Structure 1
Amino acid sequence: MFEYQISEKVEFILNNELLDLLNQRRSIYAPGKNLTVDDDAIVKLAEDAIQASPTAFNSQTVRAVFLFGDKHDQLWDIVAKRLKSEVPTEAAYENTLRKINSFKAGYGTILYLTDMAVVHQLENDFPLYADNFATWAEQGQGIAQNNVWVSLANNKIGASLQHYNPIIDELVADAFDLPSNWMLRAQMPFGSIEGPAGEKDYMDRNQQFKVLK
């Protein structure tokens, strides 16, 4: 007969380094142009973060376009002009314009896009899962965007995530000569941190989570 000795669980402190990094990521709505880091270094940081991010079936559906200088300004001019026809009053448009100009005041913008040709190919190749590939591509976008955002924050670069698609999609594709199968999903203006992030509220954990044992 064998005797088994059951030991009590040993208490240990979990590593919270990743949580510390995640908590650095905040929406910075006052980005500036006072960055000393090289443009190529920013691009490499973001590219590395995107390539390190998982996607369903390793489909790698995330695409990114990096806008600096005049190209960055051009994007937000496009947004401002396009929104003028959507805002009902001049006063409301002035408020909208102030918001757009705050993004334009930043150093650059990352456009996030999904390669729909890859999504449609997967739908054809794996019909059993066809209804899921668009959703899985969106999940890949979210992971990649967050990883870039955290990486920027870890280097004291402020950013926010904006969604002026789909009303600017065609204008942006034409302006920056983007492939027709790249679908715009988000815009991330970034720059030096010229103003603090706002307060962040958290919902009650008992309403958000359930633990079953």
Structure 2
Amino acid sequence: MVPGCTSHTSKGRNFRRPKFTRKPTQDSAMANEYLKAIASRRTIYALAKESTISVSRIQEILTETIKHSPSSYNNQAQRIVLLLGTDHEKLWEIADETAKKNLPEEVYGYLGPKLAGFRASYGTILFFDDAATMKPYKEKHPGMPFDQWNTHSQGMLQIHTWDALELEGLGANVQHFDFLPGFAQVVKDNWKLSEDWNLHAQMVFGKPTGGPGPKSFDDIDGKRLLIFGDKR
């Protein structure tokens, strides 16, 4: 038996539940460090074509976040594509061409410089889900809102990734240029990705060359956070 663990039997399978010798307090140092990471993660647009960590470390982070981010029924339909170098630049060339073709001139005039900034950063992470993986779950449970749950899973995967990159000294921002007609299809065609993959977001990242913009906060207690019941 593993020290500090207790063994149980469930349906013929043994599993071990760890015993924690340290009881968390209201001033838990572990939680505080996590909350600091959440607070420090901000949208950064001023990014250099540099990274604070190696590509292998980025790959390790993406491996861990996609492995441990939850999904409904543990369907594991999330997919990630990491674009670096000329592939990263190609993505934002595609976005620029698509925006110029589909958007009014005044709107493109506003987005054009932003697109150039994305292209000038270090890399992009594309977030997808795989419809083929989801199909048997939808067929088996036709009344379940799997598309909504997949959106939740995507959000958790993206924020876990974003937090981890920020802790390594990288800045990032999340974009959704898949709203442009044809953009997602050109992306799948260019990198020969499955037609069953649905594009959700593009996370642009690099070494920060400037800080985030100002941010204000509404009142929390009584407006954004409501508590009912015994507050013991």
Q: TM-score when scaled to structure 2? A: 0.82
| Equivalences for residues 65-104 of structure 1 within 5 A | 65-89=81-105, 92-104=107-119
Cα 1:12–1:163 shift into 2, 3 Å = closer
Give the unaligned 5+ runs of structure 2: 1-24
| Cross-structure match for 2:75 | 59
| Equivalences for residues 30-41 of structure 1 within 5 A | 30-41=46-57
Mapped partners of 2:217, 2:55: distance in 1: 35
| Cross-structure match for 2:225 | 209
How far did residue 128 of structure 1 move? 3.8
How far did residue 81 of structure 1 move? 0.4
Query: What amino acid is the match of 2:160?
Result: N
How far did residue 92 of structure 1 move? 4.2
Partners of 1:166 and 1:184 within 8 A in 2:
no
Q: Give SS of 1:207's match.
A: coil
How far did residue 34 of structure 1 move? 2.4
Between 185-194 and 195-204, the greater mean CA deviation after superposition? 195-204
Query: What amino acid is the match of 1:126?
Result: H
How far did residue 86 of structure 1 move? 2.5
Mapped partners of 2:125, 2:71: distance in 1: 19
Q: Give SS of 2:176's match.
A: coil
Mapped partners of 1:202, 1:61: distance in 2: 34
Partners of 1:119 and 1:137 within 8 A in 2:
no
Give the unaligned 5+ runs of structure 1: 1-10
Matched, 1:142 2:127: no
Map Cα deviations across residues 2-32 of structure 1 (whole Å, 9 max, x no partner).
xxxxxxxxx8423311101111211111111
Mapped partners of 2:109, 2:155: distance in 1: 31
Query: What amino acid is the match of 1:198?
Result: G
Partners of 1:61 and 1:140 within 8 A in 2:
no
Mapped partners of 1:92, 1:150: distance in 2: 31
Map Cα deviations across residues 162-182 of structure 1 (whole Å, 9 max, x no partner).
001142111111111110001
Mapped partners of 2:133, 2:84: distance in 1: 28
Higher RCO (CA < 8 A, seq sep 6+): 1
How far did residue 196 of structure 1 move? 0.5
